[in-house]
A and B are shown apart, each in its own frame.
Chain A
Amino acid sequence: MSRPVTKHLEIPAADGDGERYSLRMGPQHPATHGVLRVDLELDGETIVTCTPQVGYLHRGIEKLAENKTYAQSLILTDRLDYIAAMANNVGYCVAVERLLSISVPLRAKYIRTMVAEMSRICSHLLWLATHALDIGAMTVFLYCFREREILLDLFEELCGARLTFSYPRIGGVRQDVTAGFIAELQRFLDIFPARIEEYETLIDTNRIWLKRTVGIGRVTGGEALSLGLTGACLRGSGIDYDIRKHQPYDAYDLVDFEVPLGNDGDIYARYRCRMEELHQSARIIQQCIDRLPPGPIVGPDTPDLVMPNKAPARFQAETAAYGTGLVKLIRDQNLYLAGDVYVATEAPKGELGFYFVSDGNNRPYRMHIRSPSFIHIGALAAIAKGEMIADLIANIGSLDVVLGESDR
């Protein structure tokens, strides 16, 4: 908190508007999930107005991308939603592929679908952990981390990183999966449904949990649409919108899964939606494992990355002139056509869209990221108004925001 200006707190008047006071919650606060700041005007503990402030984690990712080639910008997307970096990577690659009309081999599509769903499970587990912790259920937090750890270990085995993967690449994926990886993943899928039940026994029918979530933070379907909510926050209000189903990318049109929907649009409905999505994600991963076809993992027309000294002789001069480092796109310039494209993917938190404006260069003229967290934080003011401080915390948890993505 900033330094108080007054010597002592003013004693609130006994009645009327004099009771209102302001409270600045964050950017350093245990429950604002990173560096979200919420300026509250309170009447007792009831929220009169709620103004979220973002920007404490701004790194200029969109601007940085303008100075990098498409392949180089991939690492920036790791830093968006760092809880589900794989989903961002996939979303970025899908968007660039659409822009450059690059095809992806089937095996790579399946692998990407698989890792994106693993990422979704990671993200939802972290959401459940922190959401439950915010409401006070401490044990769920550590149970979720136990399972998340298995997945992070799997990611580490796959690509060497636990947080910032950069595993998918434009036109495919970086390395092939090993038999050992598949076996470990299968072992995880075998235990996972029982673990989900374990979380549910702790909180699902807990009277205090129900009191804190049912009917709190209610958003109707129409409101959710006008607020721009996506992902589980929208589906919790009963709107059937899932990009994986309605505009399939990668292998989502080749696997079976259901889109869980809620009715009430309250915190409990969103909670149930995400819990069901955990089951559905496990189901998608299982199908990917079962149907994983043989074949190449990178397409033939991929703008590839090579070390400058390994580039063919005719590119050497250009590489030297480019002079910025190790990697260089060695495709012909005519790959990059002028134009713009908006491609959305279903990230764990909602609709993650990439908007590119290309002027025919090998770098985007403009990259804009439509991040679900930013839009959800914007919705917070409308949702939390009139509720209590404790509900605000539950709402922040329920909207599942991550500030790396919001502030970009």
Chain B
Amino acid sequence: MDILLLLVWIVILFIVVMLHVAYATYFERKIIGHMQVRLGPMRVGWHGLLQPIADGIKSFFKEDIIPENADRPIFLAAPIICLAAMLTSLAVLPFAKGWVLADIDIGLLFIFAMSSLASYGVVLAGWSSNSKYSFLGGMRSMAQVISYEISMGLSLVGVMLLSGSLNLSAIVEAQGDRFLGMYILPQCIGFFVFFVSMLAETNRVPFDLPEAETELVSGYCTEYSGMRYAIFFMAEYIGMMVMASIATICFLGGWHGPFPVPFFPPLWFVLKVYLFMFVFIWLRATLPRYRYDQLMGLGWKVLIPLALVNIVLTACLKAVFTLGG
């Protein structure tokens, strides 16, 4: 019975997230459109509201082209790996108190593991396409994910030290529902490092090198078309949402807000995630793109040392306060 209920919850979450992804693309196109003195989608439905649905149908019926010389099994599996890894990480996110599919104690590590797995999809896609652009995109992605995973993990060590837990619900609870309890204040360095790494981890501007359109055509997904391309797209947007959720949970106090919402407890959580999504989009409209070596330089020479300093500072302060208190 429990399992049946869990399955129902999984299906509901899946549907909600998929709709979210669809409308995140709409949200992005509209916001960027208005930032760029144009209107964005306007034709399908009122103010283009049905555009995501139309896009979905279109990509579903597009011809599925597999290059003749591609490594077929891997080529087919790569998008699925990406999407599955991203969807799996949704399981441990607490959307509100008790609104979590799997309340496991290693939640934070689990998310890291999954986002690393997703990068396998990208690398394999680049490798199996047997195209040099895809290959370069895959290589860039590999290097980028490896180096930014480190700074991201290190940036969250401060949060772990403060909350004393890796359980995402426990991290939220440790911050309490006061504004000053949010870890963004004591962990401002950690938040900065996390935020930058988060952009790199999700391949967003200014770190969208793996799919840098003007250099690598479309990077690792150059040879993909139709629904398989759409799956990469969905995985990227789910990745954005997962990372925004982690930022919300670890730094902005999760589902806590100025006042509790009676019927829909995750409201504050969702609003905070939207805030991050908006910043993602805003940055895309504003910033140029880093060069490959500059990106690595930033990761290894700036972010990782900063994160290490943050760990030492946090640990010292915590020791002082614990001993003093």
Contact = CB atoms under 8 A, between A and B. Distances in A.
A206 B215 contact: no
Contact of B291 (A6, A21, A206, A212): A212
Interface in B3-36: 32, 35-36
**Which of B135, B216, B285, B292 has the most chain A CB atoms inside 10 A of its CB?**
B216
A23 B290 contact: no
B294 interface: yes
B132 A206 contact: no
Contacts of B130: 4, 7-9
A354 to B, nearest CB: 33
Nearest to A32: B214
Given A8-B130, A143-B36, A393-B215, A138 B290 contact: no
A390 B291 contact: yes
B320 interface: no
Contacts of A135: 214, 288-289
A134 B214 contact: yes
Interface of B: 32, 35-38, 68-69, 71, 127, 130-133, 135-136, 205-206, 208-209, 212-217, 284-294
A208 B216 CA distance: 19
Contact of A211 (B127, B209, B214, B294): B294
A190 to B, nearest CB: 19
A250 B131 CA distance: 52
Given A9-B135, A29-B217, A393-B214, A142 B36 contact: yes
Contacts of A134: 214
How big is the A interface, by class?
Answer: 35 or more
Given A9-B130, A29-B217, A30-B214, A136 B288 contact: yes
Given A9-B127, A9-B132, A208-B290, 6 more contacts: A7-B130, A23-B132, A45-B293, A136-B208, A209-B288, A389-B136
B288 A132 contact: yes
20 contacts: A1-B131, A6-B69, A7-B69, A8-B69, A23-B136, A29-B217, A30-B213, A132-B288, A136-B206, A136-B212, A136-B287, A139-B36, A142-B38, A206-B287, A208-B287, A209-B288, A212-B289, A388-B292, A389-B136, A390-B215
Contacts of B293: 45, 388
Interface string A1-14: 10110111100000
A4 B288 contact: no
Interface in A1-44: 1, 3-4, 6-9, 21, 23, 29-31
A133 interface: yes
Given A7-B69, A138-B36, A388-B293, A1 B287 contact: no
Contacts of A203: 288
Contacts, number: 98
B242 to A, nearest CB: 24
Interface string A386-408: 00111101000000000000000
Contacts of A21: 132
Interface centre among B36, B38, B215, B292 (most CB of A within 10 A): B215
A197 to B, nearest CB: 16
B214 A31 contact: yes
Interface in A120-153: 132-139, 141-143, 146
A133 B205 CA distance: 12
B25 to A, nearest CB: 16
Nearest to A202: B286
A390 B212 contact: yes
A4 B213 CA distance: 21
A8 B71 contact: yes
Interface in A151-209: 202-203, 206, 208-209
A45 B290 contact: no
A208 B294 CA distance: 9
Contact of B217 (A30, A146, A209): A30
A294 to B, nearest CB: 39
Contacts of B136: 23, 45, 389
Contacts of A388: 291-293
A391 B286 contact: no
